[in-house]
Amino acid sequence: MGGIFGVASKSSCTLDLFFGTDYHSHLGTRRGGLAVYGPNGFNRSIHNIENTPFRTKFDGDLNELEGNLGIGCISDNEPQPLLVQSHLGSFAITTVGKINNMDELVDISYKNGCTHFLEMSGGSINPTEMVASLINQKSTIVEGIQYVQELVDGSMTLLLLTPKGIYAARDRVGRTPVILGKKEDAFCASFESFAFFNLGYETYRELGPGEVVFLTPESAETLVKPREEMKICSFLWVYYGYPTSTYEGINVEEMRYECGKKLAQRDAQRENVKPDLVAGVPDSGIAHAIGYANESGIPFSRPFIKYTPTWPRSFMPTQQSQRNLIARMKLIPVEALIKNKSLLLIDDSIVRGTQLRETTEFLYSSGAKEVHIRPACPPLLFGCPYLNFSRSKSEMDLITRRIIADREGDNVSEEVLADYANPDSTNYKEMLEEIGRQLNFTTLHYHRLDDLTTSIGLSPCKMCTHCFDGK
């Protein structure tokens, strides 16, 4: 998906920028980048971080990246930040989001005088370059940012660095967060709220949907007021958000405890679920499992441990076969806590089902009697059109959609899909039974959507739940 961080300071911003950006490393695996403005103008560094952590790659660049204004990113796709020279002056720009109507935007750009784009490998256009092109079609940067928000089908959050300060803009309906931090003589803008705490900043405020602010060392001025409509991604709390992060005033770790609590309350009504212990798939499932254990009174345990010395990154390679292998290599079973035990296992979600099936198999091979699975979110039925959450090219990568296709054929109506999303329908229950059969689970019960929204605590109309219900 990606993460962004920016600093406007009266003194050097380099170290704050470096560490603040590094704290977003759980959000992407492809590229890392920093851009600063200082006495020598703009300077930038971009590195491939697929095999080496951000911190290691950029440590040697810090002496050259000197300035009091800077932006940085962890990108799961294109190289950025980009340096741009236009009629609006020189600036650097970095983005988080997804553009679904790229061909349309290319045509608009050509008609409005853009002469070319620099192609990336594979012939695709860098989405951040497209955003810069759209901004440059207007007479001011603010008008350009509003133009981007109007035209982009998907979502677009950005930081734009100028010699005078930093523009920070949250996407039109706030699908991704931007939070401001403040300390003496400096302001920062961050995707993750925790990224600036150890740097001495205090939380200043969160940006609202579509809001644009201009940051200087002295101030954070609102240039475009926030919109009323908000659709922040609910999956941020379930999986992508770091435990110490807070979005819209709601902490990720605390929300995951609530998820586990709700799962336990549902299981208390079922007679066939009597596990000996509760466990979470490391790392994102652990907090959910603790919440379940605290509510149910069933002991929490760690029947397998995530091996991190040689696999420190949260994300994995782009190739699915490699992802499956590494997922298996990361988890080391503790046979003494597995043998002859009935286990209830909580994972953040089930996408393809491959990794969780392999996890279940090695639990059985280590002597487990039963493996009950409780995903911490509802079944994933739809691909995300708003954020780059997955490298999947088709919704048929989802185990739910493959089972629905086997039952209903290739052309499934919205009405039928809505019925499969309804946790009280027969189709939903039979889909879960088939998933459990294919993946060899003793029982399978997902977190209900109504329980998920309650666990988060925001009004349902302010959250995006598209991947669960298509809305």
CATH annotation of 250-469: 3.40.50.2020
Mean of pLDDT values over 169-192? 97
Q: Inform me whether the pLDDT recorded for 323 exceeds 70.
A: no
pLDDT at 391: 60
Q: How confident is the model at residue 314 (pLDDT cuts 50, 70, 90)?
A: very low
Mean of pLDDT values over 179-204? 97
pLDDT at 320: 55
Top pLDDT among 310 and 149 is at: 149
What is the share, in percent, of the chain residues with pLDDT greater than 90? 75
Question: What average pLDDT does the chain have?
Answer: 92
Q: What is the reported pTM?
A: 0.92
Per the rule left: phi > 0, alpha: psi between -120 and 50, beta: everything else, 248 is left
Q: How confident is the model at residue 315 (pLDDT cuts 50, 70, 90)?
A: very low
Note the pLDDT tens digit of each residue in 422-439.
999 999 999 999 999 999
pLDDT at 304: 84
Note the pLDDT tens digit of each residue in 5-30.
999 999 999 999 999 999 999 998 88
Phi, psi of 48 (to 5 degrees): -75, 125
Q: Inform me whether the pLDDT recorded for 59 exceeds 80.
A: yes
Note the pLDDT tens digit of each residue in 91-126.
999 999 999 999 999 999 888 877 778 777 667 889
Q: Inform me whether the pLDDT recorded for 307 exceeds 80.
A: no
Mean of pLDDT values over 273-279? 93
Name the CATH topology of 3-229.
Answer: Glutamine Phosphoribosylpyrophosphate, subunit 1, domain 1 (3.60.20)
Note the pLDDT tens digit of each residue in 340-365.
999 999 999 999 998 889 889 889 98
Q: How confident is the model at residue 52 (pLDDT cuts 50, 70, 90)?
A: confident
pLDDT at 156: 97
pLDDT at 138: 95
| Residue 233 CA neighbour count, 13 Å, CB half | 25
Note the pLDDT tens digit of each residue in 195-219.
999 999 999 999 999 999 999 999 9
146 Cβ contact partners less than 8 Å away, ≥ 6 residues apart: 212, 224
Top pLDDT among 113 and 238 is at: 238
Q: Inform me whether the pLDDT recorded for 328 exceeds 80.
A: no
pLDDT at 326: 61
pLDDT at 220: 97
| Residue 219 CA neighbour count, 13 Å, CB half | 6
CA distances from 30 to 314, 318, 392 (A): 13, 9, 16
Domains of the chain, residue spans: 3-229, 250-469
